[in-house]
Amino acid sequence: MDSCPSKPTVWRKLVFNFSFFHALVQERRKFGPIGWNIRYEFNDSDLDTSNIMLKGFLETEEVPWDAILWVTGQINYGGRVTDTNDTTCLMTTLEKYCSNVSLADTYRYSTLDTYYAPPDGPLDGYKKYIDGLPLVDPPEVFGLHGNANITYQTAESLRMV
């Protein structure tokens, strides 16, 4: 969290935002075709590459938001995405986590007050926030309607039976 001396506050916020985004794209898969039209194998290398590129982008005087968004969304994650609608969904979702407004302590990832990047501070503050998150996340945090759980639970029940 402290490996970008040029813009440490922006770095920590965006590392958290990108980590949250990464978890989100992974978890959307559980909703089947409601989450993604095609099941993509996003993995940790997508996040690692995004963070490496982010660090390089933050060495500039101004934060190049469009470039960060393009490289992260279209290349790092989007390189796996083959469906046009999934690309649109991915980019639209990433815009919530990769913008100047997402750096504000009052910014929320969804309509739910529970999900946000904690205020900048030591690593323990981030860990404490993560430990306080619910064990079962509502579909709204993934940008889905609450009824998406019905589809997920039905599929899980059928799989088990």
Residue 37: strand, helix, or coil: coil
CATH of the domain at 44: 1.10.8.720
How many whole angstroms separate alpha carbon 76 and alpha carbon 159?
32
61, part of any domain: yes
Per-residue pLDDT of the chain (161 residues; tens, 9 = 90+): 777 778 889 999 999 999 999 999 999 988 888 889 999 999 999 999 999 999 999 998 899 999 999 999 999 999 999 999 999 999 999 999 999 999 999 999 988 889 999 998 888 999 999 999 999 888 899 888 888 888 888 888 888 98
143, part of any domain: yes
36, 86 contact by CB (below 8 A): yes
152, part of any domain: yes
Handedness of CA 63, 67, 70, 73 (dihedral sign): negative
The DSSP call for residue 31 is: G
pLDDT at 78: 92
pLDDT at 145: 85
CA angle 20, 6, 71 (to 5 degrees): 45
91, part of any domain: yes
5, 52 contact by CB (below 8 A): no
> Structural domain of residue 56, as residue ranges?
8-160
Reading the block at residue 53, the tokens are: 């590129």
70, part of any domain: yes
Domains identified in the chain, total number: 1
pLDDT at 102: 94
Residue 109 burial (CB count, 10 A) = 21
